[in-house]
Every structure is written in structure tokens, then in C-alpha cells.
Structure 1
Amino acid sequence: MSGDDAGRASPLPVGGTPALVTGRRWFFPSALLHELDPDAARAGRRPRRTARDWVVDFSCFLLAVVVGAAAADALVDNPHVPPGLAVVDQVIGALACAAVWLRRRRPLGLAVAMTAVSFVSDSAGGAGLIALFTLAVHRPFRYVAWVGGINVALVPLYYWVRPDADIPYLVSVPFAVVLTVAIVGWGMFVRAKRQLMVSLRDRARRAETEARLRAEQAQRLAREAIAREMHDVLAHRLTLLSVHAGALEFRPDAPPAQTARAAGVIRESAHEALQDLREIIGVLRAGEPDDTGRPQPTLAALDTLVAESREAGMKVALDQRVEDPAAVPASVGRTAYRIAQEGLTNARKHAPGTEVTVTVTGAPGTGLTVRVHNPPPVGEVPHVPGSGQGLIGLTERATLAGGRLEHGHPPGGGFEVRAWLPWQ
């Protein structure tokens, strides 16, 4: 009995049931493995005995035989028992010991049967105690209370009908009651310990699942952030490439100075696009800090962006009303920079030749407002495909920063992107 259900518990692997069953199956009782395997429990499959189960069952059988043999030997020397009855008692005890092998399959039925058999057979006492212990381990308390209570109630009557030849009645009854209660208490303790193991395993599995979901969510958010960054950075550069490459294609007779200027813009834009792409790819290399990457743009870099757009041939008017752009928080300034960059990119694609106005106002406590407006284009504008992902990404950026972004056609015509960002 000591090895059956007391089972020395070891930490459960977080990896789940397969590692537990395949790696250390011999160490755990089959009943516990059945509880730890939800698929087997739902399918109603009977757990197979492990090597440990076979050892424990054989030990229980051997213990029942030893106890039964000792009781049979005492029964022969008892003058109150006729010889013929002693032989019948031994036969019943042998059958009870053989029935111990059924204790895992029918714990309740075996315990009830052993209650009746133990009352008429001294040799079945060991098997009865093992059956009662198994019932306490594998069944809820209500079954244990009924069967254990009947066993305790029958103890005085048993020793009254079949008194022990060597031990007085007043000693035999309390000893048997205490032994029965101890067996039941031990079995309930083992059951509680198993339930604790199952609870800890389920808790570990839930924690693992939650950790995996959090990791997946973090990866998804990181991918979205990288996608937004890649779109905002590369769209501006590639638009410059497209505009000036198109000018060279449709104006082959352009003056050499203009052609050289367009080629220089294409070369510089391609170089900058490659640099930006390397910087973004460096973010994807987990655990490898990008020491060679350029610093992220802030609001102070807005003048450089406007100058770059003017060199590319755009008409841009910058109305910078922030007294100290360097004092703007880096995250807010970077978001404002990306909004202005995307607004200039869209104006270059959909309203070429118009003068774009970029207005930045704000102060600490009131927030930062960024406005990019372009009037309607004059004449026919070549169709430039667009998916609208840039404006969607800008809206997400502003929302994540705690602000808001609006875009559309103002009453005076043209197109406008207007964003407000918090500035504590």
C-alpha cells in the first residue's frame, strides 16, 4: 500500500502531457496519467498499467497474502474457531487476495464486497484494508464515508462474534477502528495530493498558453509596427524615384542640367531607400543591436525633410510654430515627422505641381497639431495606384500615441491631413 498511491511527486514539465507520459510514464500511476490526459478522459479509454503500476499491484497483492497468511495462522490456533471453518476462511481469504488485482478497475465494488467478505473471513482482512485504501484514493469522500463508516460500525460486532484469543476485546476494537480511520485518512491525503498535482499541471498549462498568446500578440504588434515603419520610410523614397524616372521617360529632350538633376535625385533616393531598408531589417534581427543604424527622425528633422522635397522639385511651404522642436518628446516628434512625410508623399503622387503647406503648431500641455494641405491639381493628373494603407497606418500611429488623425477634402478643395498628438 505504501507505494501505490503515495507516489513521490516531482515537478511536472510545462511542455504538457506528451512529455510527461513518454518521458516519465513509469514514475506516475496510470490513474494520475489518465487525469492528466484530457483526450483519454474524454474518450473514456481505460488507462493502461505502467511498469510502476505492476510493481505496486504486485506489492499490494503480496501484502494481502502476508496479512492473510498471518491471520490464517492465528485462526488455526484460535480455540473458538472450528477446523472446518478455518479452512473455509482460508479459501475465502485466497479469493479476496486474488481480487486485489481488480482494485483499479472497480474500487467501489471491490471495497463493498471486501466489507462483507472481511466480516466473515479473517484471512481477507489485508485485502479489505487495501480495497478501502484504494477507494479513498480513487473515489470522492461520499463513497469513502459510507463504506468506511460501515467498516467502523462492524468492528465491535466482528470482535464480539469472533473474539481474538490473545488480545482483549477492549483493546482489539479501538485498535481496529484507529487502523481503519488511518487507512482512510491516508488514502484521502493521497487523493488530495494527486488533485493538487493535477491542479498545478493545469495551472502551468494555462500559464504556458497565456504566455504563448502574449508572445504571439507581441509578435503581431511588432510586425504591424515594422510594416508601418517600412511603408512610411520607403514610400517617400520610392515615390521620388518614380516621379523623376517618369520625368526622364516622358521628357527625353529635357535640358542636360534638368536630366542630371533628376538622375542625382534618383541616385540619392535609391541610396537613402537602401539605408532605410537596412535599418528596418536590423530591427528584425532579434538580439543583435543595430549600432550602425541612423537615429530615428524627430520633429527637428522636419526642416531636412522639407528641404529634401524642395530639391526633388516640389513646392513646399513650412509653417513651423513650435518654439523649440527639440523639446518635443521623441515618440511624438517621430509620429509628427511620419505624418508630414506621408502627406508630402501623397501630394507628390496625386497632386504634382501644387504647393503643399505643412503647418506644425502646439505647446506643452495643449498638444501638437500637424496639418498637411495641398490644393487641387491643375490639369490632368496621371493615375498613380494606391491602396490607402499609408493613411491607415498614420491613423494607427496617431491612435497608439494617444492622439487622433483626420483626412479628407476640405471645403476649399484639395486634400488635407490633420493630426493632433498629446504633448505632456
Structure 2
Amino acid sequence: MSSAAVPEHPWLLPGALVPTARTVRRTPRDWVVDGLAVLSSVAWVLVAHEDAMSARPEFAANVGPSWLPEVDFFLGLLVSVALLLRRRWPVGLAVATAPLALCSVTSGVALLIILFTLVVHRRLTVALVAVGWNVVTLPVFLALRPDPVLPFWATMAWSLLFIGGTVAWALFVRARRQLVLSLRDRAERAEAEQQLRVGQARQLERTRIAREMHDVLAHRISLLSLHAGALEFRPDAPPEEVARAAGVIRASAHAALQDLREVIGVLRAEPGGVGTPEPPQPTLADVPVLVAESRAAGARVSVVDEVADPAAVPAAVGRSAYRIVQEGLTNARKHAPGAVVVVRLAGGPGDGLAVEIRNPWPVGAPASAIPGTGTGLVGVAERVSLAGGRLTHGRDPEGDFRLAAWLPWPAS
């Protein structure tokens, strides 16, 4: 006795509203079940009417007035056809057929089907009222229409057995449907949460890529600005130096445009897209190249490398160290052009990786100061915090600007 309507959840969702008639949609399986219910009820009507009209003397006392069998037969057929409405108006149908529980024999199967429908699809309080009515009216029915073969108490026991079996079956179907709905709801929630987690992870990854590209572009554009400033203040420089500076400017601009193209491609890429460009992933081994670029731009950089085993540095730790050095060199070019910058790397497995960039504190503001976004150190602090490290920056007791970070390096 299934239904396409979504049953209520009195145990899962107390006080939930019962679906209205407009939400009921019969599936082909529902039509088959309803047809079988009507045919079963009609078959019982025919059997009960045949027994009532039988000439056997044991049925004479159960017939009553001569017109009662014909009326009961008509009522049984009417209720059987009305079973087609049990999905839309189960409570109304139960109320309309409630008086038949007092005197109608042919309506017995239909009344049990209606009771089954109430227990499955409506609140337990409504179902209990219907069950109680059938139990209370049972003695009255047996008094008006006694069984010609079985005694009163035996008939009472059999009738209660049929009612109890119907209610037990209905409760089982109800519990099974609620379990299926609960599992389906959990699966839908899990799928929605998974999609949310994927979206958040994708957004975090894009944000991380954009932050790294900020570091890359700031470094390259600062180099470009330094070379352009040198050409501006030395218009009488030898042609060889002008050509070399122009070549560096061209190479830096080309690299900056390439990096910008990559980050825009990543941020515009759709989920699951093909051909998504890979973001740059520098490591600690790329720090010498970074220093060489700064030296080529005219910066004076000194490197003290005391890392015990550079090849053993984890990729994530090395990448963070590279970004810290890159930000330190960029800041030195912006705020202390011409100053000597000291880069120190030290550490080993289990001790962590220490990164320090030191340069003299600038005196006054340089005339060709390169503007910045003011978020470089904020991004570095966030990166170090996510890696589980520590970061300090500012003027030290010796009067130098010091950017120092410690990154965890697990022991192998």
C-alpha cells in the first residue's frame, strides 16, 4: 500500500505539516496497488453478499431485515470504489465510512485498507483515534451482526487479530519509509556539504594562487622600476649600459605579463576545465636565481646559506622561504635602494628553517620610491602562520630593518 506522497515525520520532525491533496501524485505502481485494493474489497463484498443471501439456516440470524443485504451490498461496492480517494482524503474518507463499522459486513476489507492508510500516512494521534473507533465499535457490530458459526468471544478475538495485524503492518511500512527518507535526506545533505567543501577549497586555492602572484609581480615590477629609474637619471650612459638596461626591462616586463596571464587564467578557469595553467611553484633552490635577478638590477645582496641539507627541505617549506626572501628583497628595493641587503638561511630537519633579511634603515624617503600595496608583509605573515611558523619584522636595536621568520622543518 505505497503512496507517492511524502509521509510525515512525526518522530523525526515533530509538528511537520501533512502534505496537501495538491502534492499527491500517483505513480504507475500506486495505480496498480490502488487497483488491487479495490479488487480485493469488491471480491470480499461479493463473498459476503453471497453468504448473506444464502439459504443456509446458519446465516438467517445474521441477515436481519430483508432489505439489509441489498443495502449492505450497495454500501460495500460504494466504499470499495471510494478507496481510490484514500490517498487524497484519507481522514475524510475514514470519517465518512466510520458509521459502517457498526453494521456493515461487506465493508470490512475496505475499512481495514482505510485504517492502514491512516496509520501509514497521517499522524499517529489521528491513526490511534481510528484504531480506537474500530475497537470500540466491534462489540456493537458483533451484537448487531453476530457470526452464525463462532461464539462472540472467538469472533471478537479474530476481529482484534485482523485489526492488530493491519496496524502492525502499517507501522512497519511507516517506519521503513521514514528510514528511507532519513537516509535520502542524509545523502542529499552530505552531497550538498561536499559540494560546499569543494567550492571553499577551490576558492581558497585561487586566493592562494593570487597571493603568490602578488609576490611575483611585485618583485618583477620593482626590478623594472629600478632599471627604468636608472635610465631616467642617467640619460648620458654609454649605449651598452642603455641596451643592457633596456633588455632587462623588456625581459622583466615579458615575465610579469606571463605571470599575470597565468594568474588570470587560473582565476577564470571553470571547475573541471581542461588546460588550466599551473601556477609557479618555486622552492628553496630558486633563491639563488632570485638573488641574481636583484643583483642584476643593481642591488647589493649578500647571502649566508647555512642550511644543513637544502635538498631535504620540504617543498611547502621551501616555497614559503622563497616568498619571504622575495618579499624582503622587494621591500629593500622599494624603501632602501642602494643599501646592502643580507639574506641568511639556516636550519635543518627537526630544528626548523630560519629565514632572515636585513638591511639598513632608510634615512628619509627616497626620491624615486616605488609605490606599494601595503599588503606584502600581511601576506607573508599569513603564509607563515598557516605553515605553523613565527614571523617578526621591524627595526632592531642596531638600527637595521629586520624581517625574520622561522618555519617548521619536521625531522625525517
Query: TM bucket by the smaller chain?
Result: 0.7 to 0.9
1:254 matched to 2:237: yes
Q: Cα deviation per residue 1:354-396 (whole Å; 9 max; x = unaligned)?
A: 2222222333333222121222335633343221232222112
Q: Cα deviation per residue 1:94-131 (whole Å; 9 max; x = unaligned)?
A: 55445434433443454355443122111222221121
Structure 2 partner of 1:374 = 359
Structure 2 partner of 1:66 = 43
Q: Which amino acid aligns with 1:89?
A: D
Distance 2:301 2:77 in 1: 103
Q: Which amino acid aligns with 2:101?
A: S
Distance 1:378 1:254 in 2: 27
Q: Indicate conservation of the 8 Å contact 1:357/1:372, yes or no.
A: yes
1:194 matched to 2:177: yes
5+ long unaligned stretches in structure 1: 6-27
Structure 2 partner of 1:12 = none
Distance 1:390 1:200 in 2: 49
Distance 2:21 2:226 in 1: 73
Q: Which amino acid aligns with 2:308?
A: E
Q: Classify the secondary structure of the residue corresponding to 2:237.
A: coil
Aligned CA distance change for structure 1 residues 48 and 217 (closer, same or farther; 3 Å): closer
User: How far apart are 1:346 and its partner, in Å?
Assistant: 1.6
1:161-240 → structure 2 map (5 Å cutoff): 161-165=144-148, 172-240=155-223
1:315-330 → structure 2 map (5 Å cutoff): 315-330=300-315
Q: Cα deviation per residue 1:312-340 (whole Å; 9 max; x = unaligned)?
A: 10011222233333333222122111100
User: How far apart are 1:31 and its partner, in Å?
Assistant: 3.9
User: How far apart are 1:166 and its partner, in Å?
Assistant: 5.4
Distance 2:97 2:153 in 1: 24
Q: Indicate conservation of the 8 Å contact 2:7/2:121, yes or no.
A: no
5+ long unaligned stretches in structure 2: none
Aligned CA distance change for structure 1 residues 217 and 409 (closer, same or farther; 3 Å): same
Q: Which amino acid aligns with 1:420?
A: W
Structure 1 partner of 2:383 = 397
Distance 1:49 1:42 in 2: 14
User: How far apart are 1:167 and its partner, in Å?
Assistant: 5.7
Distance 2:191 2:22 in 1: 26
Distance 1:105 1:263 in 2: 83
Aligned CA distance change for structure 1 residues 240 and 361 (closer, same or farther; 3 Å): same
Equivalent of 1:313, from 298, 303, 307?
Answer: 298
Aligned CA distance change for structure 1 residues 51 and 137 (closer, same or farther; 3 Å): closer
Q: Classify the secondary structure of the residue corresponding to 1:373.
A: strand
Q: Classify the secondary structure of the residue corresponding to 2:370.
A: coil
Distance 1:327 1:252 in 2: 48
Q: Classify the secondary structure of the residue corresponding to 1:197.
A: helix
Q: Indicate conservation of the 8 Å contact 2:21/2:89, yes or no.
A: no
Structure 2 partner of 1:348 = 333
Q: Indicate conservation of the 8 Å contact 1:358/1:373, yes or no.
A: yes
Name which of structure 1's ranges 218-227 and 397-406 shifts more when overlaid on structure 2: 397-406
Aligned CA distance change for structure 1 residues 303 and 98 (closer, same or farther; 3 Å): closer
User: How far apart are 1:61 and its partner, in Å?
Assistant: 3.9
1:63-102 → structure 2 map (5 Å cutoff): 63-77=40-54, 78-80=59-61, 81=63, 82-97=65-80, 99-102=82-85
Structure 2 partner of 1:416 = 402
Q: Indicate conservation of the 8 Å contact 1:138/1:191, yes or no.
A: yes
Equivalent of 1:297, from 274, 278, 282?
Answer: 282
Aligned CA distance change for structure 1 residues 297 and 90 (closer, same or farther; 3 Å): closer
Distance 2:20 2:395 in 1: 67
Q: Cα deviation per residue 1:236-266 (whole Å; 9 max; x = unaligned)?
A: 1222122212322443222223212212322
With normalisation by structure 1, the TM-score equals 0.80
Q: Indicate conservation of the 8 Å contact 1:398/1:405, yes or no.
A: yes
Aligned CA distance change for structure 1 residues 95 and 283 (closer, same or farther; 3 Å): closer
Q: Indicate conservation of the 8 Å contact 2:209/2:279, yes or no.
A: no
Q: Which amino acid aligns with 1:421?
A: L
Q: Which amino acid aligns with 1:121?
A: S
Q: Classify the secondary structure of the residue corresponding to 1:388.
A: coil
Aligned CA distance change for structure 1 residues 139 and 101 (closer, same or farther; 3 Å): same
Q: Classify the secondary structure of the residue corresponding to 1:192.
A: helix
Q: Indicate conservation of the 8 Å contact 1:31/1:47, yes or no.
A: no
Distance 1:250 1:43 in 2: 83
Q: Which amino acid aligns with 1:417?
A: L
Q: Classify the secondary structure of the residue corresponding to 1:83.
A: coil
Q: Classify the secondary structure of the residue corresponding to 1:321.
A: strand
Sequence identity of aligned pairs in percent?
A: 52
Name which of structure 1's ranges 311-320 and 359-368 shifts more when overlaid on structure 2: 359-368
Q: Indicate conservation of the 8 Å contact 2:8/2:121, yes or no.
A: no
Distance 1:227 1:42 in 2: 49
Name which of structure 1's ranges 195-204 and 144-153 shifts more when overlaid on structure 2: 144-153
1:364 matched to 2:349: yes
User: How far apart are 1:302 and its partner, in Å?
Assistant: 2.3
Q: Which amino acid aligns with 2:4?
A: P
Distance 1:209 1:295 in 2: 32
Q: How many pairs are equivalent?
A: 394
Aligned CA distance change for structure 1 residues 43 and 117 (closer, same or farther; 3 Å): closer
Structure 2 partner of 1:244 = 227
Q: Classify the secondary structure of the residue corresponding to 1:47.
A: helix
Aligned CA distance change for structure 1 residues 42 and 233 (closer, same or farther; 3 Å): farther
Name which of structure 1's ranges 330-339 and 279-288 shifts more when overlaid on structure 2: 279-288
Q: Classify the secondary structure of the residue corresponding to 2:379.
A: helix
Q: Indicate conservation of the 8 Å contact 1:114/1:127, yes or no.
A: no
Structure 1 partner of 2:22 = 47
User: How far apart are 1:45 and its partner, in Å?
Assistant: 4.8
Q: Classify the secondary structure of the residue corresponding to 2:346.
A: strand
Distance 2:67 2:18 in 1: 50
